Structure 1
Amino acid sequence: MWVQRVIELTGWEPLGVSVDWAVVEGELGVPLPADYKELYEAFGGGVFSDSVYFLGRDEGVSFDFLAQWRVGLSVDQDGKFGDVSAVDPYAIYAPGGKGLVEWTPPNGPTSTSG
């Protein structure tokens, strides 16, 4: 619903990008929010204010969610223990502080670490 309002405010003609979200979500291991997918299908990938990257499933590497995910995993791989950190060296956001905003699917995490 809010995506439609953004389209109306910007006067943007929706791109109608087609994405096999099951493939993307399958590799990520989490479902993506419906409005995220709707926003991507309308606008495609891009950068907002030179700071927020909006990724989906583009042919080019720049805005391809899975390509960026794979690069991030390969860079974050710990050579000694094989652990992968999605946030190091940053902290998770806490009210009144700074850090990365953690997103969890509505039904909770899809996997656990032991």
Structure 2
Amino acid sequence: MDYLQDNHMTAYRFAKKSGIPQSTIWSILKKEDYEVREKNIRKICKAMGISASEIMESEEEAKRNLRAGEIPVMHKYRKLDKSDQFRVQGYMDALLEKQDGEKSTS
């Protein structure tokens, strides 16, 4: 799973973070035909900080939904830990408020 490599995370650590047994994580990673239960998909998504629809769409579909300049930003954002993602969101909110304030005074 690219997520583990991108976040320098072991399967053990992801198992702890997601609440899924490590043996199940290994089965998901190693077996092409492994049927992942819906409850585990939800746990995986929660641990990764994404929605179930995001995990189901292919990389090509995801790229079609983003502008070219947004793709590297999303890759970097997803590498951040939760507290830093929260900071980025706060900064974006502040920028949007500033932008809205500038529009209303024009």
Structure having the higher Rg:
2
Q: Counting helix residues as a fraction of each chain, which structure ranks higher?
A: 2
TM-score using structure 2 length: 0.28
Q: Counting strand residues as a fraction of each chain, which structure ranks higher?
A: 1
